[in-house]
Amino acid sequence: MTTGDSWRERRHALLADDPAAAEASARLLDEMGAEDREDEEIEAEHRASRLAAAREYEPDARLDEELLLRLTGPNTEGGALRFQWGDALLNPIENAVSTAAGTPVQLELTGLSAGSTVVHARPVAPAVSSESYGLDAPATSAAHSGMRTLTNLLAALESEQDVREWARLFDPVDALARALSRYELDLGVTWYGADGDMRRARLTERGRRYVERLRETRDRDQEMTISGRVTELRESGWVKVKTGTAKNAPAYDVRFEEPEELLRMRPGLGDNVHFRVRFRQRLDSVGIARSTEYTYLGPAAEQTSLPLDS
């Protein structure tokens, strides 16, 4: 089953050649108060009803999943999608859904509608191997799981709540927010699940400004000692120190604020060194480390082996 255009558009199209029926239908809708509700809400109700009816005959019936993106802004009145918008927006949305789902999710465009610019999309159906036939389909698709998490994050951003629990998802949503700001667009997201569920969220100027504030960083410093072998040197005042002999042993890039100080030390490749350094992390408000650096402060006392208990 597919949702297609909104139920209201389909109804008006069917009655286009019958003014009397169209008037009666409009009057009935007005009496019911249905026109006061959003199209998406009524569409979700219709989908749930269709699914309930289908399950009377086929208990495992499911609806087709659909993602509806509504773009609003100064240049969206024509209901068209500009190429530059699609290039900047659609890939970050797919990345965000995939990150939220914890697995790659591919989306494909299925159509455009008027009413600002409305983009219809759906998950690309995964290839089914012959061995998969006869197995029960998962109750929740990866796309549904991802959209559920993504809409929760967008709602939290719009209300300027704490979003640290979604830290892994912040970067793709940040890229989406930057693209929306570049083209002065607001985004409305509606997800129709296979089980009749509907989820909605928005990312408006308020949410985008909150994302921008969360992007700001602060420094967190601590002092530490790095001991190991010199494996790389640069005259610009940079030395790599590897802390062990194993291939996967940690290695640190230590920067000298005054390169002459490194030259005066005359370290050689393979030499053992003991540096006292400042470890600086630049953290954003979500708690993500945007950069780290190790700056030389001075020599550290050579570490001696701890005595073994006899």
Task: Summarize pLDDT for 63-111 with one digit per residue, the tens.
Answer: 788 999 999 998 887 778 889 998 899 999 999 999 999 999 999 999 9
In this predicted structure, what is the pLDDT of residue 37? 60
What is the signed CA dihedral for 156, 159, 160, 162, rounded to 10 degrees?
-40
In this predicted structure, what is the pLDDT of residue 116? 81
In this predicted structure, what is the pLDDT of residue 55? 66
From the centroid of its chain, how far is CA 273? 43
Residue 218: strand pairing partners? 283
pTM, rounded to two decimals: 0.70
Residues 6+ apart with CB under 8 A from 45: none
CB 295 within 8 A of CB 277: yes
Residue 36 or 149, more confident: 149
Question: CATH 2.40.50.140 in the chain, residues?
Answer: 219-299
CB atoms inside a 10 Å sphere around CB 204: 16
Residue 252: strand pairing partners? 241
pLDDT tier at 52, thresholds 50, 70, 90? low
**Residue at 142: amino acid letter:** A
First to last CA, the chain: 76
Q: What is the pLDDT of residues 133-192, one digit of tens each?
A: 444 555 578 999 999 999 999 999 999 999 999 999 999 999 999 999 999 999 999 999
Percentage above 90 pLDDT, the chain? 50
Q: Which CATH superfamily is domain 219-299 in?
A: Nucleic acid-binding proteins (2.40.50.140)
User: How many angstroms separate the CA atoms of 270 and 95, rounded?
Assistant: 43
For the cut 90, the answer to whether the pLDDT of residue 6 exceeds it is no
User: How many angstroms separate the CA atoms of 113 and 160, rounded?
Assistant: 31
Strand order in the sheet with 186-192: 107-113, 117-123, 66-72, 186-192, 198-203
Q: Which of 6-20, 32-46, 128-142, 225-239 has the highest mean pLDDT?
A: 225-239
Residue 59 or 120, more confident: 120
Average pLDDT over residues 190-213: 92
Give the chain's mean pLDDT.
82
**Alpha helices, H only, the chain:** 7-14, 19-32, 39-55, 83-101, 142-158, 170-182, 205-215, 259-265
pLDDT tier at 113, thresholds 50, 70, 90? confident
In this predicted structure, what is the pLDDT of residue 102? 94
Average pLDDT over residues 244-253: 88
Residue listed under structure tokens 């979500």: 286
Which SS3 state, helix, strand or coil, does residue 40 take? helix
294's tokens: 């190790």
